[in-house]
Amino acid sequence: MKVKNAEEIRKLIMNHPKEFRRIFSISAHIDHGKSTTADYLLAKAGLMSAETAGEKRMTDSDEEEQERGITIFTTVVILSYDYLIIEEDGKERTQTYLFQINDTPGHLSFTGEVSRALRGSDGAVILVDALEGMMTQTETNIQLSVGEEACKPVLFINKVDRLISELRLDPKDVFGKLDVIVSQVNNLIKKVAPPEFKKKWNVSFPKNSIAVGSAKDGWAFTVEILKLKGLTPQFVFEKYAEDDKKWLRKNLPLDDALLRMVIQHIPNPGESQIYKIPKIWHGDLESEAGKSLIACDPKGPLLGMITKIFIDPKSKRATLIGRIFSGTLKSDDTIYLVNRRQKQRVKRLGVMELTDILDVPEIPAGNLFAMYGFICPAGESFYRDGTPVEGFDKISYAAEPVVSRAISPKSATDLSKLGEVVNTWIMADPTASYELDQKTKKIIVRGIDPLQIDILVTRIDDQVPINTSDPVIVHRETISRESISYITKSNNSHNRIELQIRPLSEGVVQLLRAGKIDQFMERKERSKLLQSAAGDSDDKFWRGYWGHSETNILVENTKGVQRLDRIKEFVIQAWNEFCKGSTLAGEPLTGVLFEIKDATVHVDPAHTGVTEIVSMMASACNLTYLSSKPRLLEPLMRIEIKTPVDYVGALTGLLTQKRGIIEDIAEKAGATVLKAVIPTVETMELADDIRGATAGRGFFGYEFARFEDVPPHLFDKTVESIRIRNELKPEIPSPSTWERFIYKT
């Protein structure tokens, strides 16, 4: 693939004024037509022929994307566009605009790709299927783009041709369906938009922030475009009646409608960063860095963020993609990674066009970039070495890891290499995670759903041949009440620790989940954040923060204990292990506050070794946990199924059989849409079951909903099966298991 206007793009990246730049993402529910739409933008950029646009789905360049027929990875496209402007005196002139575009996935499994693309974007083209209307992932994408990342939306209603050709609706009914979609989109925008934009960001036909059309047939229009050409919407119906789609494609080109809409409504980087920066960066806005970020100043201190890791399918080389928010990144720079606390040198710098890098010597603020020479997790912030700047907030994701698979190398000598490969893929997709099971020497990979894990496992196996287990659903453990305060002792009886646990407040849980607390923060700042989230009257308690594991937190609240720092590392080690797999079923713990109330540490270091301290702390964790009425939580998914009305009875029966709760049944576009909540464990074979119940005519999407207690009648059986799966004894241990560690006065 060669960029036709490479030198022009290179000059625009380095020198083009901010006001003539647009960075945006295309977001939609799966199969609503994002990649087909993107083809026309690629053709405009000269990256493919106009004749194959709408058929090739060129942004789905990965073999697995082509095989599955879905977008898995975000693809970046750069293009220039000459925008025709008609002055008040009737004179015409053109203005060149630079577009940097992310084509994002629509499947829940890859929602992390969407979140990361939106972090680097100023706006979002929300794409909705005219026949299906608002769907699960449409709602999620509006929440992520408008609510989480402050990206101003515009709307493209696609597949209008189906209303005309398939349903044969008259113009009045078509317009009615479009109005319903617009109303639904605006209701959600109003709900999630930043307070100052709840009314300003609504989309409307009169404002030309809505385009309607058909990506398959290559046409679209806004109200403005129809007026310029002296046409009415009814003219489209006439052309379909004449079967003259070519005329529509030639005279109402899709790319022109979308790009004009983007120019008019999506802000340039200088406008966007005024309100986007305070939402994603919590440094001092009055500092030099803060002022530069707000101004999107290319001459200010360098601060950028890596939003995507692209791993080349052939070379396996990692390319880091992201955005420069302040300053200018240069091809010979050494940068400092904020979260990893390390220096790295840029070896190659440019911008991404599909799967290739177009080399550019420097990338100023208000641009996406691509570079390689090292690898780090997506979501990492960086600045130029020697000029410290606070990093950006953690990116918010719409789902939690609830499915896992165990993998191991087919050759034992490949264990180390397997660890490196897994680590690389998890850095590329932080919505997944992994850990090495020390007992079995297997790597446990956790993800959002079976499809995400399947894709990851396929990628890993391509580099290191592996054995894989069947996917399993990851539950969570938590507690119902404050525990008894236990004092436990080490094996040699020379050390003691007093521990008590209680449920963690929801405010602190949300703070931890959002990634706003870390061990490297300044102590007072961290304690004030925790105090505020917990609703406490003072922050002294939280100054004892020792660490957190997922949504659990460990606080030291002792007085006058000597030599406590000597055993701190071992205490945290034991606590971390307990949080990863708790007493009830060996599943991860969530929402628990651990308070160390007192301790005794022997004066001789020979008596405070790792074995002594870890066993003492582990027994304290288990004993307090068992006294706090532990609970087992199962993940639930929210599912949306579209089916012909004849199959509604079969589907409701299927969902009821799988412990699903029907939330809504509604007619939409000549079909019935069921919305339900269903335990994730019941979704393992759900795709086949839905196909069977609807004779292959049912389509569904789902997203993570919440965790809920396992029903009482299933509790014992579920705990036993999970314990056996986790290679534990079937019976839940009793406090007597750790009785020998209890210190008795």
CATH number assigned to the domain comprising residue 220: 3.40.50.300
Last residue of a domain, one of 221, 240, 267: 267
pLDDT at 40: 80
Q: Are 347 and 414 members of one domain?
A: no
Question: What mean pLDDT comes out for the span 545-571?
Answer: 95
Query: Is 717 inside a domain boundary?
Result: yes
Contact 502, 593 (CB under 8 A): yes
CATH of the domain at 672: 3.30.70.240
Mapping DSSP to helix (H, G, I), strand (E, B) and coil, where does residue 167 land? coil
Q: What average pLDDT score do residues 66-92 get?
A: 69
Tokens of 460: 């890993």
Whole-number average pLDDT of the chain = 88
Same domain for 194 and 46? yes
**pLDDT tens readout for residues 650-668:** 999 999 999 999 999 988 6
- Has residue 741 been placed in a domain? no
CATH of the domain at 442: 3.30.70.870
Token pair listed for 155: 């709307």
Q: Are residues 199 and 131 in the same domain?
A: yes
Q: Express each pLDDT in 165-220 by its tens digit.
A: 888 999 999 999 999 999 999 999 999 999 999 989 999 999 999 999 999 999 99
- pLDDT given for residue 281 in this prediction: 94
- Look at residue 1 and tell me if it is in a domain: no
Q: Dihedral sign for Cα 216, 35, 153, 22, please.
A: negative
DSSP 78: E
pLDDT band for position 250 (cuts 50, 70, 90): very high
User: Of 131 and 479, which is predicted with more confidence?
Assistant: 479
Please state the domain count of the chain: 5
* Spatial CB neighbours of 28, under 8 Å, sequence gap ≥ 6: 34, 106, 126, 127, 128, 129, 137, 138, 141, 158
Where among 470, 496, 514 does a domain terminate?
A: 470
* Boundary of a domain, candidates 219, 242, 267: 267
Mean pLDDT of 681-706: 83
Residue 731 within a domain = no
Q: Which residues pair with 344 in a beta bridge?
A: 335
Give the pLDDT confidence score for residue 74 in this predicted structure: 60
pLDDT of residue 106: 53
pLDDT tens, 483-533?
A: 999 999 999 999 999 999 999 999 999 999 888 888 878 888 899 999 999
Q: Are residues 438 and 547 in the same domain?
A: no
Pairing of strands 152-158, 210-214: parallel
> Has residue 397 been placed in a domain?
no
The answer to whether residues 237 and 340 belong to one domain is: no
pLDDT at residue 4, rounded to an integer: 54
* Alpha carbon distance 209, 424 (integer Å): 40
Domain extent at residue 160:
6-267
User: Does residue 743 belong to any structural domain of this protein?
Assistant: no
CB 559 within 8 A of CB 601: no
Q: What is this structure's pTM?
A: 0.81
Q: Are residues 232 and 169 in the same domain?
A: yes
Tokens of 669: 């576009």
Measured between alpha carbons, how far is 153 from 356 in angstroms, rounded to an integer? 28
- Greater pLDDT, 153 or 393: 153
Which DSSP symbol is given to 493?
S
Model pLDDT, residue 311: 85
310-362 tens-digit pLDDT: 888 778 888 999 999 999 999 999 999 998 889 999 999 999 876 778 899 99
Q: Looking at the structure, do residues 521 and 625 belong to the same domain, yes or no? A: yes
Identify the CATH number of the domain in which residue 530 sits: 3.30.230.10
pLDDT tier at 621 (50, 70, 90 boundaries)? very high
Residues 17 and 110 in one domain: yes
Supply the CATH number for residue 319's domain: 2.40.30.10
Assess whether 259 and 295 both reside in one domain: no
47: confidence class by pLDDT, cuts 50, 70, 90: low
Query: Sign of torsion, CA 182 188 190 192?
Result: negative
Q: Specify whether 138 is located in the same domain as 261.
A: yes
Q: For the residues 618-628, what does the mean pLDDT come to?
A: 98
Looking at the fold, whether 651 and 541 belong to one and the same domain comes out as no
Residue 81 has pLDDT above 90, yes or no: no
Residues 240 and 91 in one domain: yes
**Segment holding 141, helix H or strand E:** helix 136-142
Does the pLDDT value for residue 126 go beyond 90? yes
96-105, 172-181, 432-441: which has the highest mean pLDDT? 172-181
